[in-house]
Amino acid sequence: MRKLLIILGPTAVGKTDYSIDLALKYGSPIISCDSRQIYREMSIGTAVPSAEQLAAVKHYFIQDHSIHDIYTAGKYELEAVALLEKLFDEGHETLVMAGGSGFYIDAVCNGLDDFPPADQELRASLMERLHTEGVESLRLELKFLDPESYETIDIANGQRVIRALEVCLMTGRKFSSFKTNPLKKRSFEIEKIGISRPREELYERIDRRVLQMVDEGLLEEARGLLPERELPAMQTVGYRELFDYFDGKTDLDKAVELIQRNTRHYAKRQLSWWGRDKSIIWKPIV
């Protein structure tokens, strides 16, 4: 009976400790599902597990990709599912996955439709147009190429418009025609456990953790990544605020406050993402 146990929850709830205990109990490695801890160039700001924690349990998808290679939920689905199959085949009955990237988790659980991956050149040129011409122009083109998508996607969201448009342009097919809501069959059973805490407590932990990151040297880490600030992977809470500080746009106290606030916002969005997933079993943590 192959079973995938997914430990999820907002940032800073305490997933790492919880999942390590669970992994040890089942003799499972931990398959991380975190869109930022996957990058080797960041560690303090992404709250990667400590050396001891990594030594205690084998972790996958922790700092094994580079910010220079664009990573996506689609790639994660491919890599993670392949890894899971392999580990199950090797004899694991229960595997533990843990992370906070809802989109990535869903990609593993339900699968994405077979859209073509983004073509970076096309993506870049569309981004350029978004900045010069504005969304309206792209919207109109989408309305012409794929009226269905125009009606259903979030037209105010430039990123969404670009994605739909790029698929149309790349394939000559409508973006909407790819959508079949796959719910791919996986060879294993899935159980999702959500770790929860009272909002107030969660926010306190977040604020405290940010201060701790600064003590641990977040500034130096961010300064070293300043040249890479334009990379998609560097659009990460904890770094962009510091980049502004290095630019002299804010003072340090303000930057730290913003990191705390933006992390709280992030946590709230995570909660909102999982709010509609009725299959999650929520467990309050103490």
Partner RNA sequence: GGUGCGUUGGCCGAGGGGCUAGGCACAGGUCUGCAAAACCUGCUACAGUGGUUCGAUUCCGCUACGCACCU
List residues near RNA by CB under 7 A: 11, 34-37, 45-47, 70-75, 78, 100-104, 112-115, 117-118, 123, 127, 153-154, 156-160, 162-163, 178-182, 199, 232-233, 235-238, 261-266, 268-273, 275-276
- Distance, in Å, from the CA atom of 46 to the CA atom of 237, rounded to the nearest integer, reads 8
Name the one residue in this structure whose structure tokens are 């010069």: 132
Smallest separation, CB 241 to RNA (Å): 10
Which of residues 26 and 211 has its CB atom nearest to RNA in the complex?
Answer: 211
Which of residues 23 and 203 has its CB atom nearest to RNA in the complex?
Answer: 203
Nearest to 178 by CA among 194, 193, 166: 166
- Please list the residues that pair with 196 across neighbouring strands: 284
What is the DSSP annotation of 160-206? HHHHHHHHHHHHSS-GGGG--------SSEEEEEEEE--HHHHHHHH
Which of residues 94 and 221 has its CB atom nearest to RNA in the complex?
Answer: 221
Smallest separation, CB 2 to RNA (Å): 24
Radius of gyration, alpha carbons of the chain? 20
Smallest separation, CB 92 to RNA (Å): 26
Smallest separation, CB 195 to RNA (Å): 15
CA 56 to each of CA 23, 36, 51, 195, 254: distance values in angstroms, whole numbers, following the listed order: 10, 21, 9, 21, 37
Which of residues 103 and 282 has its CB atom nearest to RNA in the complex?
Answer: 103
Which of residues 27 and 171 has its CB atom nearest to RNA in the complex?
Answer: 171
